[in-house]
Structure 1
């Protein structure tokens, strides 16, 4: 089986546990990853903290309004690793069963799926995914979230906006800005957007709830979403 990574998947934590663990969804994602691996398409997954992380972060700020963003991020990181364990339990021996704590090339092992969460304060799991893709020489990072692509502004607040089918690295950076705050929700983390450009990584934003569409994307087939990259 080829050890070459075909993709890094940033899987939204709200899809996995919103607000409680979504057992059927995790089982379907695991089955998809196992099908891909059986066909020689080996990918790696970074899972966010989602609703659970934001709940803990909001609680920490209510308990202590002076709590730092770094402390809040640490809470979120713990939640990402809980979500990662859920997926690992469904993947069994097809996956590395321990969770890497950083994004060095040693995070992945030949032929095995890696599942991990956050690493350090000051970044979301999108940034972790982009850093992992850069470290292992993976050309694609797919962000499976609860929206179906990139829009000029938040489509939930601005109905009628047209989704981008393809967007440049520079335009994405313009949309997402440059600042990070613990518990914030971006279509793509600003750090990840910069890594895409610097390392010429092709990004994708896709609705992770549509697993059939997501699998087509991971197989390199036609899909519904937004491709991020220079023409």
Structure 2
């Protein structure tokens, strides 16, 4: 069984690598992998907070110099942050992860030799959520677990709207109305618009859940009851 965990960069390294979280996360994942040698994990690392810090740095420089902000360059900065986080994840899993970090999820001869395959950002135009969808399509994984610093999808941004309600389930049609169709570098939404369009077309399911809740992530891997929002249920 192959499952995909899209791990937000703000969970891996909020301001520096969160070694306490990573050690718990890796231990739990290894336990699940060891329970059945057919179990495999694809881990897609996001750029998260480190990406946004550097993207904002570029924005501030542009404002000071009067130069135009280059969205493509900002996307590449975010991609490089995902690659650093991905190399860290791969190193944490040691011999479980036998292949190089995947940069291009559409590569024809992509190999998955161990029990863990780690991927990072590919190119501008979308986030690593889209890379996760491409990998799900390639390795026949119908569910993507999106781990971030939000535990559920809300009807609106709860930081701005106190009346926003958490959702247990939401259809792709309703979710796509919320996130729109366009990607901007550093966009902060539960699942990016480009990924959402492709996942809905492929009939995939996405589970959005809190990335720091290790027992809950374990419950998701074990197909038990979990706390989160299921998109496309």
TM-score scaled to structure 2, two decimals?
Answer: 0.92
User: Bigger shift: 101-110 or 150-159?
Assistant: 101-110
Q: Is there any run of 5+ residues in structure 2 with no aligned partner, and where?
A: none
Is the 8 Å Cα contact of residues 146 and 207 (structure 1) preserved in structure 2? yes
**What is the aligned partner in structure 1 of residue 25 from structure 2?**
29
Structure 1 residues 158-167 or 130-139, which shifts more? 158-167
Matched, 1:96 2:121: no
Structure 1 contact 52–79 (Cα < 8 Å) conserved: yes
Q: Which residue of 2 aligns with 1:220?
A: 223
1:27-176 alignment to 2 at 5 Å? 27-40=23-36, 41-64=39-62, 65-104=67-106, 106-176=109-179
Structure 1 position 15, deviation (Å): 0.5
Report the TM-score, using the length of structure 1 for normalisation: 0.92
CA distance in 1: counterparts of 2:215 and 2:71, whole angstroms: 37
Whether the aligned pair in 2 keeps the contact of 1:10 and 1:129 (CA below 8 Å) is: yes
State the Cα distance separating 1:111 from its structure 2 match.
4.0
CA distances 1:2-52 after superposition (whole Å, capped 9, x unpaired): xx41x1111110001111111111112211221111123311110111111
Deviates further, 157-166 or 72-81 = 157-166
Q: Conserved in 2, the CA contact under 8 Å of 1:56 and 1:75?
A: yes
Per-residue deviation at 1:83?
Answer: 0.7
Aligned to 2:210: 207
* Count of residues paired in the alignment: 226
| 2:147 alignment partner, SS class | strand
Deviating more after overlay: 104-113 vs 74-83: 104-113
Q: Cα deviation per residue 1:80-137 (whole Å; 9 max; x = unaligned)?
A: 1111111112110001352111113644514420111100111111111112112221
- Measure the CA separation in 1 of the matches of 2:113 and 2:207: 24
State how far apart, in whole Å, the 2-side matches of 1:150 and 1:107 are: 32
Give the match for residue 185 of structure 1: 188
